[in-house]
Amino acid sequence: MAPAAANNVGILALDIYFPPNCVQQEALEAHDGASKGKYTIGLGQDCMSFCSDVEDVISMSLTVVSTLLQKYEIDPKQIGRLEVGSETVIDKSKSIKSFLMQIFEKYGNTDIEGVDSTNACYGGTAALFNCVNWVESNSWDGRYGLVVCTDSAVYAEGPARPTGGAAAIAMLIGPDAPISFESKLRGSHMAHVYDFYKPDLASEYPVVDGKLSQTCYLMALDTCFKNFCQKYEKHEGKQFSLSDADYFVFHSPYNKLVQKSFARLVFSDFLRNPSSKDEVTNEKLGPFTTLSDDESYQSRDLEKASQQVAKPLYDEKVQPSTLIPKQVGNMYTASIYADICIPSSQQK
Ligand SMILES: CC(C)(COP(=O)(O)OP(=O)(O)OC[C@H]1O[C@@H](n2cnc3c(N)ncnc32)[C@H](O)[C@@H]1OP(=O)(O)O)[C@@H](O)C(=O)NCCC(=O)NCCS
């Protein structure tokens, strides 16, 4: 018999693994001859995890899937779909998912759909959407979906090197989840840009235009926010405002970009509805309303003013999610999902 339609599909459980090795950003500043505070205050990072020669994305994924199944006592036969998001190329054809099948084959479960999704950091979210869509669809057979996001982020010597990191995250997907998705309200943005890419298949280093990647990211964030707000208004019959959300989580390659991203959302929210904002916000952000989009991405004064206005809300609604990304560093596909791994010592 087909299972009843699933409601409130989302993340039932998650686990994270990151390597035990890390570099203190303060020590890296000294080693690189960077000015004191550039990586810790300037980029907002504390430590950077890295894989030693006995670890890689496959071993990290095997570990995190095994620990998730054990901790939550999930029978491996109960997994019906396994999706992996990664941009760390191990093989040009054989998927990371196929390595993970070792865990399930032992229990006689080879009937598992899904493959790897690769598109820089977005691959993890694509994998998650694939699993959520499956559970919400007619193809769902009543079993769990499992999503694995894993990457080892390493950069060549230079300004991007302190923004590396490594980790794997596994998420169990099913109905009636404590973190459920409002699938009708997703806003996406995708464009053809050469800001971050890996054209040399023999090298683990990306080619990155750091400044362009920041601007592209903020532009994408703005468009996603606009798309989300339009859908929210259509669906809910009222305007969305930042005060409607309890918490915000961001892709976190380095904490400064998270601070800038939230400040950008505060400015976009102000532009959508200036009349509803308080006097201080009007005074600080009002002078920037005449800037074109392009000018606004380049304006350092706007960046500073919106960070100032955003600070109290950032402390309340964003900062609680920043602990692990600041300690581990960029995890590419796993970066945003590390935000929702709050250590038990920090949980209220
Ligand atoms: C982010 C990146 C461009 C920064 O490299 P950089 O150009 O050498 O760094 P900057 O000179 O801009 O300095 C970084 C920040 O530290 C600040 N800073 C510099 N020295 C400092 C010091 N001694 N104390 C405190 N802050 C300092 C700078 O003012 C700057 O802050 P701001 O952005 O708020 O102005 C680089 O690390 C990179 O390319 N990383 C990878 C990019 C990436 O992950 N992109 C993906 C986006 S989705």
Output the DSSP codes for 236-280: HSS---GGG-S------SSHHHHHHHHHHHHHHHHHH-GGGS-HH
Q: Whose CA is nearest to atom 15 of ligand 1?
A: 42
157 among known catalytic residues = no
* Closest protein CA for atom 20 of ligand 1: 38
3-state helix, strand, coil in the chain (%, to 5): 45, 15, 40
Cβ contacts of 24 within 8 Å, gap of 6 or more: 46, 47
How many CA atoms are closer than 13 Å to the CA of 339, on its beta-carbon side? 21
The best mutation among 119, 121, 157, 163 to test binding of ligand 1, ranked by most ligand atoms within 8 Å of the C-beta, falls on 163
Choose the catalytic residue: 47, 51, 131, 251.
Answer: 251
Q: Which residues does ligand 1 sit against, CB inside 6 Å?
A: 35-38, 41-43, 159-160, 163, 196, 208, 210-211, 213-214, 217, 253, 256-257, 330
Cα angle, residue 63 at apex, residues 57 and 65 outer, rounded to 5° = 100
77 assigned ligand-binding residue: no
Question: Cβ distance 83 to 115 under 8 Å?
Answer: yes
The Å distance, Cα 127 to ligand 1 centre, comes to: 30
Give the domain ranges of the chain: 10-179, 207-346
277 annotated to a ligand binding site: no
| Domain 10-179: top CATH class | alpha beta
**Which residue puts its alpha carbon closest to atom 32 of ligand 1?**
42
Among 55, 83, 87, 303, which one carries the catalytic annotation? Answer: 87
Beta-strand ranges (E) seen in the chain are 10-17, 22-24, 47-49, 79-85, 116-117, 144-153, 165-174, 179-180, 196-197, 207-208
Residues facing residue 208 across a β-bridge: 196
H or E stretch at 27 = helix 25-32
Establish whether 106 is an annotated binding residue: no
User: Among this protein's residues, is 131 annotated catalytic?
Assistant: no
The whole-number pLDDT of residue 3 equals: 87
Which tens digits make up the pLDDT trace of 127-148? Answer: 999 999 999 999 999 999 999 9
Q: Distance between CA 264 and CA 306 in Å, rounded?
A: 7
CA 83/CA 171 separation, integer angstroms? 10
What is the pairing mode between strands 116-117 and 79-85? parallel
> Per residue in 226-269, pLDDT tens?
999 999 999 999 999 999 999 999 999 999 999 999 999 999 99
Residue 342's pLDDT is 75
61, 150 contact by CB (below 8 A): yes
Mean pLDDT, consecutive 10-residue stretches, the chain (348 aa), reads 90 98 98 98 98 97 98 98 96 97 98 97 98 97 98 97 98 98 94 96 95 96 97 95 95 98 97 85 95 95 97 97 97 98 71
Angle, to 10 degrees, between the axis of helix 57-71 and the axis of helix 96-105? 40
- Å from CA of 43 to ligand 1 middle: 5
**36 CA: nearest ligand 1 atom:** 23
The predicted pLDDT at position 273 comes to: 85
User: Considering only CA atoms, which residue is closest to atom 43 of ligand 1?
Assistant: 210
149 is catalytic: no
Q: Of 35, 40, 43, which is best to mutate to test ligand 1, by the most ligand atoms within 8 angstroms of its C-beta?
A: 43
pLDDT at residue 24, as a whole number: 98
Residue 111 is classified by DSSP as: -
Strand partners, 296: none
Q: Do domains 10-179 and 207-346 have the same CATH topology?
A: yes
Distance separating alpha carbons of residues 169 and 84, to the nearest angstrom: 10
| Residue 49 contacts residue 166 (beta carbons within 8 Å) | yes
**207-346 under CATH 1.10.260, yes or no:** no
Separation CA 98–CA 114 (nearest Å): 10
